[in-house]
Structure 1
């Protein structure tokens, strides 16, 4: 099954969370509009996931992205890399093969993967564009498979990629009204964080007691309210916290960072449209999971 939408209607971090929680394997295409101001980004990116982990990143489909990165650093000559394309065993990441053959060190392969990741991190600042995710089973019907020649052998959890990307966002106007309101409280959705948190995120996590408002947290932590809202947003969008409304009758959950509109396409090319709402609850993502898994 496939899912596609525009980036102004569906948050990229939410998609990464769905990919990880659903242990998805497949290809994500992110297309960037011509009027994008981030000049160092390419027009299109292909991100490959395996069981919820990001395993390959490229801006081309000819399986030469990783090889080009190696050649431009003069680590291997074009003559050698051309031979390696044919010698690399089937279903073995090229990076693993290069390591086994002692042609590249693990440190160099790790560096290349980090360079690739920094391209992905920039995608989280996009305010417009388009994406499409196809599961591997559907790609195999088109005689496509995982791009082993684009894989370093390293991988990262999709939510971890999203968290790093969100920490690097410079202009938080990208998310507009998606930031949690200062009069809301927070509650944990898991017993322990499944990601490594930085200091402020950890403090917010510890104070997420369903009773302390974000405004009160800011006072107690001696931080601007905006800083607390931004850090809380990161924790919410990756699935560690959720917002709650506190009233005289108890605590009600309200997931305000859920997407406003999602376009789903199944293998028969049928599309489902979720109408926009100012506030949506977790049923939106739950319904998305059910439709995607059907």
Structure 2
């Protein structure tokens, strides 16, 4: 991975009426990096991407993409970037192959590359299928193929796995890893925190148009110092033993129990594990440390957003 930035942004701002969609966003994304932009609905992620892609003019601030200003719409950048929008729309009554060929022709790319890309994204046998008849996962793969057919250096992906079933998501992850392994810089927005934690070298968490925290997912999780959650089946400890444990561990361990699980939340798991071992209650034990989701909720809150 090169230390040279693929993207720099300094003080980007964008307002829509009374709504400050982007409020002083500054970030740097390295060449070859897999970078995630995370945030709740309305955080400003898509508007930030659209500014970087040259689709929207910022009200203030400065951006450079591959060393070039993205606005005014920069024809020197167009062959060097690929964009997969949040909502993809294909031409009516065209097959997957015809859709991809239409995009390829815009960049002067020949039919051989079209066939290579169909195979690359796992659509080789579906090239003759009308785009509207593709499954959700297949349509997303076609959308990404359209963004990649001209072999761009930098790829923007706006929530590419939204609405996909778990198998389709995992298959798409493999494709995204391959794209990045080719040396391309990938910028991803997603609401799936496990996805960002697995795929991204670094992430930025934003809300209300501002970047709140940036770093490698593992580093952000360590900095949060979230408690370890140790879970065993409900009833694993006799009521008397559990009552004694509550008294002995009070202040150090939070203990909750429902009809399914007995959960110990603590930053010092050793006494809990010793207790469970002593009483033969290790069957079905699960232990989970902090995750990127914990970081996200700590920074942005837990209230529901439309």
Superposition TM-score, scaled by structure 2 size: 0.29
Structure with more helix by fraction: 1
Q: Which has the larger radius of gyration?
A: 2
Structure with more strand by fraction: 2
